Amino acid sequence: MSDDDEPQVRGSADSAGRPSRPWHHRVPPSPPAAPLTPPEGTTFQRASAAAALWAAPLVILFAVAVVAAPDPGEVFAYVIVLLAASTLLAALLTWWVTRRRRRPFWQLALIALPMYFVALVFVDNTLAAGRTGP
């Protein structure tokens, strides 16, 4: 640069030589990105909730059966064991099928429906086989 050349006043510039933006066009720096973690699979708690969703209407239906039974105490115990065991078995089956991928709850509930009724029939037949008396 010689004395004859006019000084070039560019103000502040970034490293590429571009003029900086006016203050109202400046974008704040973005926060650092969170580390990517793979989505979790279905938890047993969510599978239990999906299975319990189908047990809830049966509680109401079986309450009528308990009230109308000749021996309500025995029927009540049978119904409680039946519902608890079938819900637990259905939750276990649902979790086993869906454990690799996290699904929306409505899909999980639809998957749990056939599992619940298969578990209900299985547990009912198992309890009935071990039952003695007329």
The whole-number pLDDT of residue 3 equals: 55
Q: Can you read off the two tokens belonging to residue 106?
A: 């409505």
The whole-number pLDDT of residue 26 equals: 67
Whether 22 maps to a domain, the answer reads no
The whole-number pLDDT of residue 72 equals: 85
* Nearest by Cα to 99 from 37, 48, 35, 54: 48
* Nearest by Cα to 119 from 96, 99, 103, 101: 96
Whether 68 maps to a domain, the answer reads yes
- Going 125 to 129 to 130 to 131, the CA torsion angle's sign is positive
Whether 38 maps to a domain, the answer reads no
Whether 37 maps to a domain, the answer reads no
Q: Can you read off the two tokens belonging to residue 99?
A: 């454990």
Q: How many domains does the chain have?
A: 1
Whether 77 maps to a domain, the answer reads yes
Whether 102 maps to a domain, the answer reads yes
Q: Can you read off the two tokens belonging to residue 21?
A: 């933006």
Domain range enclosing 95 = 53-130
For residues 25 and 13, what is the distance between their CA atoms, to the nearest angstrom? 15
Residue 76: C-alpha distances to residues 82, 83, 88, 96 (Å): 10, 11, 18, 30
Whether 65 maps to a domain, the answer reads yes
- All residue ranges of the chain with pLDDT < 70 are 1-27, 36-39, 132-134
The whole-number pLDDT of residue 75 equals: 86
Q: Which amino acid is at 63?
A: A
Q: Which amino acid is at 120?
A: L
Question: Do 85 and 123 touch, CB atoms closer than 8 A?
Answer: yes
Whether 124 maps to a domain, the answer reads yes
